[in-house]
Amino acid sequence: MKAKINTKSTFLNIEAKARCADLQRVREFLNKHGAESKGTDHQVDTYFKVANGRLKLREGKIENHLIQYERVNKHGPKQSKVLLYKSEPNSSLKAVLAKALGVLAVVDKHREIYFIENVKFHLDRVKGLGSFVEIEAIDFSGKIGLVKLNKQCEYYLKALKIPQQDLLPNSYSDLILVS
């Protein structure tokens, strides 16, 4: 199954984020298990001040989206409801949103993107924060369901031997705000 980065503007996912001191070990696991690499992207995520959920503008060479999402902060896999809007690089969208809403935080990262079927893996090096791995089991079609998404996320957490104490409850923007 060839992975697609965005086939639908609204979708559900189960995700987990963890600190990762050895990105090479994760990269080797992904390569060994036939993960499809989408490449490495330098991404700048600008988070805006909003009343509900989170709103960020992702600017990169591979991914450029305005992303609104709702997610509870908790350790381990967590459900997110995501709404994407494909944005154009170098548009005035960021200036408009910054003026209207105000900027909450900016996250600058280098991200390697991989897929195994509907599961997306990020190997992130975040400026000022360190190295992380993210696992996102994504239901683009609405046919996979929460039970299977949770099982997929849990499976890869175990397969990658990610210790419970390395799991993060929140987003990079939250970490930036407290650092």
Question: Does residue 4 belong to any structural domain of this protein?
Answer: no
By residue range, what is the domain housing residue 101?
A: 10-178
Per-residue CA distances from 68 to 36, 125, 162 (Å): 26, 23, 28
Residue 1 within a domain: no
CATH of the domain at 163: 2.40.320.10
pLDDT at 108: 98
Q: What pLDDT score was predicted for residue 1? A: 39
Per the structure, the count of domains in the chain is: 1
- Nearest in space to 144 (alpha carbons), one of 162, 118, 169: 118
Asked if residue 107 belongs to a domain, the reply is yes
Q: Is 140 part of any domain?
A: yes
85 φ/ψ angles, rounded to the nearest 5 degrees: -130, 120
Question: What's the pLDDT score for residue 7?
Answer: 41
Q: What is the pLDDT of residue 75?
A: 84
> Which residue stretches of 23-145 are H helix?
23-32, 93-101
pLDDT of residue 6: 44
pLDDT of residue 90: 86
Nearest to 16 by CA among 137, 125, 123: 137
Q: Report yes or no on 5 lying in a domain.
A: no
- The answer to the question of residue 113 being in a domain is yes
Does 147 reside within a domain?
yes
Q: What is the pLDDT along the chain (179 residues), one digit of tens a residue?
A: 344 444 447 788 999 999 999 999 999 999 999 999 999 999 999 999 999 999 999 999 999 999 999 988 888 899 988 899 999 988 999 999 999 999 999 999 999 999 999 999 999 999 999 999 999 999 988 899 999 999 999 999 999 999 999 999 999 999 999 98
Residue 142 carries which side chain, given as an amino acid letter? G
pLDDT of residue 5: 42
In a domain, 3, yes or no: no
